[in-house]
Amino acid sequence: MASGHATVKAVLSGDTLVLMGAATNGPPPELMLTLSSLQAPRLARSPEQTNEPYAWASREHLRKLCVGKVVRFKVEYRVPAINRDFGSVWLPANSRGVEENLCVIQARTGYAKVKSVEQSRDGVCVDHEKMLQVEAVAVSEKKGMYADSDAESNATVQWHGADGAALVAEHKGKLVPAIVESIRDGASMRVILRPSLQLVTFGLAGVQCPRMNPPMNSSTPAAADTGETDTPPAAPVGPAPHAREAKHFAEMRLLHRDVELKLEGVDKYGNLFGSVVHPSGRNISVELLKNGLGKMADWSSSFTSASARASMRAAEKEAKQNKLRVWREYQAPVLSSAKKLVGVVVEVISGDCLVVYVPTAATPAEQEKRVYLSSLRAPRLGNPRRQEPNAPYAAEAKEFLRNRAIAKTVHVEVEYEKASPSGQGDVMIFASVLLEPSANALKKSPSAKGANLAIDVVSAGLAEVVRHRPDEEKSEYYDDLVTAETKAKGQKKNLHSGKATPPNERRVTDLCFDSTKAKQFLPFLTRERQARAVVEHVYSATRVKLFVPKENCVLNFVVAGIKCPQPARH
């Protein structure tokens, strides 16, 4: 029969343990062992079953005694009919140097009945006589399940009825004691909240680990990303790479442990998200990311605090650089342009796109660079030629960025590139664009940075932060963007106000391609000897496109009496 030392991985009931040995070239071996000559109250495994009296108390007593500890065990007999091993488990030596048998402890505390010799036809515990003696004392002193009925005897897990939103509202900002009952994936688990014993599904906010049971079409990520459903369902592919490792990592640290949860958010299915406060003080989310066993999930990272996101992002970056596990095939983006540029903003295309003049570029054709703000999506401007209207707040977003950046020196930090949808081989540059720091800021710190234009636009509620897939590149200031967006949502600014259109939205008349309308506006424009206008676009040295705020119109304007060379047509 098997014997040796093992770690108690889980406690299934008041008389059954899961023991785990040392790993050698693969997953560690496991053994489900039932304590010899004992019969604990039966614990319900599903909503359809019911607990016997004191079943939960018996399991809890044994769990607190041994889970996570390295114990000595010996398999004493096996019952082939039920395919189960029975044996004794000894705790580590106490201060007196004595190793106590869990069989004796459970009998002494009255949380399990001792089987008679007649009931143990397949074998008996090595300490059977002692177990009978201590059981008699427990019965006489009304210990454990021999006590009068009380709340402890009827304690049972609440399988249904959890209201995730109500739990978050009740416990927001508080630590909730809980027991991790099972772990599905490295970042998803079932927990029992205490003292209510409510069973809920809980996920680590901001972390996505490889799944043990991936979706049917996960082997074709392109189809999953585009939402295609015409492709025939693929056969199950088994656990994703490193899924077992991530699950084992979390089980070794959390399974059946007493922990404290920070409930920070809930998804549309009622699943709770937050963080786990381990007794060791370490953050399991950070540890999973640092060991390359998961990636950050941007959609749920918004539930966490800015400091927590910063720690998680640093851990993920470290795993990326070391190419650990899920990042084994990671390749840093190769940029066709310089990583850092300094230039002047000469044109604002939209709320998330501008043109920067870089005088140090190698050729004149490369001096003007169209730059898109990383991880940002501003409302789209319409197309007058196609009769497409502006999206709500599109004009306001563009005007905000123009006032903030036009004609100013900026520092461009290029972060990633994408192929242009035009299909002509062009590359779209995505970067963080920062203004020049102030003189006072430079005095305090020579390495100080100026304001981030993307954060300014998001803070004004005029753009949304893109929720990237875990394997996509994103802004280096992504967490600051999420924080700014959360604040703008809380203040209900512009896009987040719930209003379909801006309260002071203006309708702009485009006179660039309509000579009839242009002639109708001409008297109003000539009546004013001078008019304030914004240069929307420069066609050439003498021909520009102007926006006249007073008349709410856009027109083409040519400087009279001057002829300049025309630029090449692209």
pLDDT tens profile 251-261 = 999 999 999 99
Instruction: Please tell me whether residues 187 and 318 are part of one structural domain.
Output: yes
Q: What percent of the chain has pLDDT over 90?
A: 63
Residue 223 has what pLDDT?
Answer: 39
Residue 332 has what pLDDT?
Answer: 85
Average pLDDT over residues 342-346: 96
416 in any annotated domain = yes
45 in any annotated domain = yes
225 in any annotated domain = no
How does DSSP classify residue 145?
Answer: G
Q: Do 291 and 249 contact (CB within 8 A), yes or no?
A: yes
pLDDT of 330 > 80? The answer is: yes
Rounded Cα–Cα distance for residues 389 and 399 (Å): 17
Instruction: Please tell me whether residues 413 and 309 are part of one structural domain.
Output: no
Q: Residue 318 maps to which CATH number?
A: 2.40.50.90
> Comparing 253-257, 444-448, 492-496, which segment has the lowest mean pLDDT?
444-448
pTM, two decimals, is: 0.80
Instruction: Please tell me whether residues 323 and 435 are part of one structural domain.
Output: no
306 in any annotated domain = yes
How does DSSP classify residue 495?
Answer: G
* Nearest alpha-carbon partner for 40 in 20, 65, 12, 18: 12
- Token pair 């047509």 is at which residue? 569
Phi first, then psi: give them for residue 493, nearest 5 degrees.
-85, 135
The count of structural domains within the chain is: 4
Rounded Cα–Cα distance for residues 381 and 332 (Å): 33
Q: String of b and e for 122-135 (b: at least 16 CB within 10 Å)? A: ebbbbbbebbeebb
Average pLDDT over residues 357-365: 88
Residue 499 has what pLDDT?
Answer: 82
568 vs 121 pLDDT, higher one:
121
Question: Confidence class of residue 501 from pLDDT cuts 50, 70 and 90?
Answer: confident
For 527, other C-beta atoms within 10 Å of its C-beta total: 8
The 10s digit of each residue's pLDDT in 72-102 is: 999 999 999 899 999 999 999 988 889 999 9
Give strand pairing partners of 507: none
Instruction: Please tell me whether residues 265 and 376 are part of one structural domain.
Output: no
Its sign, for the CA torsion 93, 96, 101, 107, is negative
Question: Confidence class of residue 30 from pLDDT cuts 50, 70 and 90?
Answer: very high
Half-sphere exposure of 538 (CA within 13 A, CB side): 10
* Nearest alpha-carbon partner for 92 in 104, 84, 80, 101: 101
Looking at every residue in the chain, the average pLDDT score rounds to 89
Name, in order, each residue with C-beta under 8 angstroms of 357's C-beta and a sequence gap of 6 or more. Answer: 343, 344, 345, 346, 367, 368
Residue 503 has what pLDDT?
Answer: 67
Average pLDDT over residues 277-295: 90
* Nearest alpha-carbon partner for 178 in 64, 255, 259, 256: 259
- Token pair 């295609």 is at which residue? 228
Instruction: Please tell me whether residues 309 and 399 are part of one structural domain.
Output: no
362 vs 68 pLDDT, higher one:
68
pLDDT of 444 > 70? The answer is: yes
Residue 122 has what pLDDT?
Answer: 87
Name, in order, each residue with C-beta under 8 angstroms of 87's C-beta and a sequence gap of 6 or more. Answer: 1, 33, 34, 35, 36, 73, 74, 75, 76, 77
Residue 227 in 3-state DSSP? coil
Name, in order, each residue with C-beta under 8 angstroms of 268's C-beta and a sequence gap of 6 or more. Answer: none
Rounded Cα–Cα distance for residues 287 and 84 (Å): 36
Question: Confidence class of residue 225 from pLDDT cuts 50, 70 and 90?
Answer: very low
* Nearest alpha-carbon partner for 193 in 146, 159, 147: 159
* Nearest alpha-carbon partner for 505 in 402, 394, 388, 404: 394
227 in any annotated domain = no
Using CA atoms, how far residue 246 sits from 184, 188, 190, 368, 506, in Å, is: 10, 11, 16, 47, 54
Instruction: Please tell me whether residues 280 and 179 are part of one structural domain.
Output: yes
Strand pairing report for 258-266 and 272-277: antiparallel
Average pLDDT over residues 211-236: 53
Residue 570 has what pLDDT?
Answer: 54
Instruction: Please tell me whether residues 174 and 322 are part of one structural domain.
Output: yes
pLDDT of 154 > 80? The answer is: yes
The 10s digit of each residue's pLDDT in 175-184 is: 999 999 999 9
Q: What is Dmax (Cα atoms) for the chain?
A: 117
Give strand pairing partners of 39: 113
Half-sphere exposure of 527 (CA within 13 A, CB side): 7
Instruction: Please tell me whether residues 194 and 52 are part of one structural domain.
Output: no
Residue where a domain terminates, one of 475, 496, 517? 496
Question: Confidence class of residue 504 from pLDDT cuts 50, 70 and 90?
Answer: low
Instruction: Please tell me whether residues 429 and 318 are part of one structural domain.
Output: no
Q: Could you give the angle at the alpha carbon of 228 between the alpha carbons of 224 and 229, nearest 5°?
A: 110
Question: Confidence class of residue 229 from pLDDT cuts 50, 70 and 90?
Answer: very low
Rounded Cα–Cα distance for residues 77 and 86 (Å): 5
Domain that holds residue 530: 509-558
Average pLDDT over residues 11-18: 96
Residue 230 has what pLDDT?
Answer: 45
Residue where a domain terminates, one of 299, 327, 355? 327
Rounded Cα–Cα distance for residues 196 and 170 (Å): 13
- Token pair 């459903």 is at which residue? 229
For 407, other C-beta atoms within 10 Å of its C-beta total: 9
Instruction: Please tell me whether residues 316 and 182 are part of one structural domain.
Output: yes
Average pLDDT over residues 253-273: 92
Q: Do 270 and 163 contact (CB within 8 A), yes or no?
A: yes
pLDDT of 234 > 70? The answer is: no
The distance of Cα 277 from the centroid of its chain, to the nearest Å, equals 17
335 in any annotated domain = no
Question: Confidence class of residue 337 from pLDDT cuts 50, 70 and 90?
Answer: confident
How does DSSP classify residue 325?
Answer: G
152 in any annotated domain = no
Name, in order, each residue with C-beta under 8 angstroms of 16's C-beta and a sequence gap of 6 or more. Answer: 32, 33, 34, 35, 40
Instruction: Please tell me whether residues 295 and 188 are part of one structural domain.
Output: yes
150 vs 447 pLDDT, higher one:
447
Residue 221 has what pLDDT?
Answer: 40
For 340, other C-beta atoms within 10 Å of its C-beta total: 10
Q: What percent of the chain has pLDDT over 70?
A: 95
231 in any annotated domain = no
Residue 1 has what pLDDT?
Answer: 57
Which structure tokens are listed for 216?
Answer: 């049917």
Residue 228 has what pLDDT?
Answer: 40
Average pLDDT over residues 302-321: 91
Residue where a domain terminates, one of 298, 327, 356? 327
Instruction: Please tell me whether residues 467 and 535 are part of one structural domain.
Output: no
Rounded Cα–Cα distance for residues 310 and 12 (Å): 38
